[in-house]
Structure 1
Amino acid sequence: MPGIELDKTATVAVSDGPLTANDILQLQPSYPDEPLDVLRARYDEDGMLLLKGLIPREDVLQARAKYFEMMSPTGVLKDDTTPVQGIFNPNNSPDDFPGIGAGAVGMNGRPGGDNAQAFVDLAIQAHYKDWYTKDLCKHSALLGFVAKFTGWKENTLGLKRSLLRNNVPHTKPIGVHYDQIFLRYGEPTSVTAWVPMGDVSLTGGGLIYLEGGDSVGQEFEENFNKKARECGLTEDEARNAFNQNMMSTGLLSENPAEFAKQYNRRWLVSSYDAGDVVLHKPHAIHASTVNNDPDNVIRLATDLRFVNEAKPYDARWTKYYEFGDGV
């Protein structure tokens, strides 16, 4: 797969250890001005599409600055740094600044202990601010591209529920999963846009994708649905049983390195720049790496979902994120 040469000196790590050179491959970059049929073919084949510079860089960095301006009173930022830099204060415990949906107490539970309460409260409030919900989530460059790329045009709907996640250095990354697990009440036709809100170094906690992971995710679905039919389960019973079959957090595994070896696949990795967007399919298997950024940069990113309003979709996602919303 052609692409940017990987930094051979960087060590990419996941929750069950470092990934070796044999475990990883560079995620292929694409560009918004390439022919749509070329981009669609790549998306269909790979299950994801890394679009470089889709959103103007300055617009993304403005949202990053707004977020850390909100978080600054909690002491999360290093002294004498600016909010847009998002440099973690090394004098603090990372446990006091958990990411939303980090999976510690379930994917939609409240993370952290008592010392994290002030930070978590502000992190949730950020989900409702205009600079996020309007200026970034509904950015014309993103929404316009998705509408053209999918062919949904005026039926393109950005779902309100999103996950605005920070990942301070050396905290628990997100485990192995695919998004249809959490969009169970709709057809598997949604498009996820993962938007890094700032530059993310190769070792800075970015998303990684399983090579050929879309087909693996579909196999999970097909195998379980086959078993459900054989057991005579109704559609609702099968849905509930499927979710119970996952880990309590909705994940396939907490161990990406082991998972990839089990399926004889590699992980596709990349650094990311502010303005980049990764589109991926509902069954594309992905995870995140440990944030070992050498400069203690906090990784900030959001997961946005788009659906065709003319087709059945998971209506639970039409409300803004809140703890315990059952999704």
Structure 2
Amino acid sequence: MLTSNGYVLDERRVGELSVVPERERGELHGLRERLRRDGYLYLTGLLDAEVVQGFREYYFGLTGAAADRPSYRKVLFDQIVPGPEYAAFCAQPALKGWFEWFLGGEPFLHKRKIIRQTAPGENGIGTATQAHYDLVYLRGGSDQVLSAWIPLGDCPVSRGGLTYLEGSHHRVLAEEAAGTLKRPAASMTADLPGLAVQYNANWLVTDYAAGDVVIHTAHTIHAALDNVSTEMRLSTDIRYQFADDAIDGRWQNHWHDQDGL
């Protein structure tokens, strides 16, 4: 049984995230077409798993010593988020180089980069990332910004990985173009089962492994599942775009959960 913020997903509206086959990884035109078609690219093993695990150990090595919530927040926002280790991880050649190749020019990494931690058993409203598409938070720049969601360690479905609403970007694009989708800079809903019915679409899930990366467009609806495992779920989401395109200036400061974005 899969849940998100306590809502139980209808198993009849759950599908499998599609992996980009190894033979297609080097076909630039095909990858761009696949992204336009599916709204995401699931690239297994794009990163070195040992590099990912090393950053996970670095993170928990610092936060594990924080005995209370205020101490944890201080470590997260004063040390980890602005720290050189996180910066290096997000700009590692396997990531930045891929975006340079895919975009066909100099890539720009938004300074506001987010780390999400979910403990086992957390399942109240607001615990898991609610359904949204990224453009509602990034309207000050290009709508061609791409997000990279990276599990920091293995993340099976039970640990609460990201889930994508199949084909949702096509409807979002159409409604954005028509001006009929006027949403504030906020999540759409915590009710993933209801949204699946509204869009007549499946929520796509998979068991992620350390080294996997999912690239998705700014129009693709996604959310997170509840962590029903016994292990901590840790991930980061970062955003790259073509450096010559318009850039949202609000995203050029380090992330803080009180920054209003």
TM-score of the superposed pair, with normalisation by structure 1 = 0.73
Instruction: Find the aligned partners of 2:239 and 2:50 in 1 and give their Cα distance.
Output: 22
How does 1:93-172 map onto structure 2 within 5 Å?
Answer: 116-125=69-78, 126-134=80-88, 136-151=89-104, 153=105, 155-171=106-122, 172=127
How does 1:216-235 map onto structure 2 within 5 Å?
Answer: 216-223=171-178, 225=179
- Residue number in structure 2 paired with 1:211: 166
Shift of the 217–121 alpha-carbon distance from structure 1 to 2, 3 Å rule, reads farther
- Residue number in structure 2 paired with 1:273: 209
- Residue number in structure 2 paired with 1:252: 188
Q: Please give the secondary structure, in 2, of the residue aligned with 1:192.
A: strand
Deviates more, 1:186-195 or 1:316-325: 316-325
Instruction: Give yes or no for contact 1:52–1:277 (8 Å, CA) kept in 2.
Output: yes
Instruction: Give yes or no for contact 2:44–2:212 (8 Å, CA) kept in 1.
Output: yes
- Residue number in structure 2 paired with 1:82: none
Pair 1:50 & 2:42 matched? yes
Instruction: Give yes or no for contact 2:4–2:190 (8 Å, CA) kept in 1.
Output: no
Shift of 1:221: 2.2
- Residue number in structure 2 paired with 1:40: 32
Instruction: Find the aligned partners of 1:178 and 1:59 in 2 and give their Cα distance.
Output: 29
Query: CA offsets, 1:271-315, max 9 Å, x none?
Result: 10111000000000000000111xx11111111101111111212
Higher relative contact order (CA 8 A, sep 6+): 2
Q: Please give the secondary structure, in 2, of the residue aligned with 1:165.
A: strand
Q: Please give the secondary structure, in 1, of the residue aligned with 2:204.
A: strand
Q: Please give the secondary structure, in 1, of the residue aligned with 2:200.
A: coil
Instruction: Find the aligned partners of 1:187 and 1:15 in 2 and give their Cα distance.
Output: 31
TM-score of the superposed pair, with normalisation by structure 2 = 0.91
Instruction: Find the aligned partners of 2:221 and 2:114 in 1 and give their Cα distance.
Output: 17
Query: CA offsets, 1:85-140, max 9 Å, x none?
Result: xxxxxxxxxxxxxxxxxxxxxxxxxxxxxx52222222223111211111x11010
Shift of 1:17: 2.5
Shift of 1:261: 1.0
Unaligned stretches of 5+ residues in structure 1: 1-10, 76-114, 228-241
How does 1:5-84 map onto structure 2 within 5 Å?
Answer: 11-31=1-21, 33-74=25-66
Instruction: Give yes or no for contact 2:10–2:193 (8 Å, CA) kept in 1.
Output: no
Q: Percent identity?
A: 30
Q: What CA RMSD, in Å, does the superposition of the two structures yield over aligned residues? A: 1.8
Instruction: Find the aligned partners of 2:241 and 2:256 in 1 and give their Cα distance.
Output: 20
Instruction: Give yes or no for contact 1:31–1:53 (8 Å, CA) kept in 2.
Output: no
Shift of 1:18: 2.4
Give 1:320's match in structure 2, choosing from 251, 254, 259: 254
Moved over 4 A (4+): none
Instruction: Find the aligned partners of 2:235 and 2:155 in 1 and give their Cα distance.
Output: 9
Deviates more, 1:272-281 or 1:20-29: 20-29
Shift of the 282–68 alpha-carbon distance from structure 1 to 2, 3 Å rule, reads same
Counting matched residue pairs gives: 254
Instruction: Give yes or no for contact 1:260–1:266 (8 Å, CA) kept in 2.
Output: yes
Instruction: Find the aligned partners of 1:31 and 1:276 in 2 and give their Cα distance.
Output: 13
Unaligned stretches of 5+ residues in structure 2: none
Give 1:286's match in structure 2, choosing from 195, 219, 222: 222
Instruction: Give yes or no for contact 1:13–1:203 (8 Å, CA) kept in 2.
Output: no
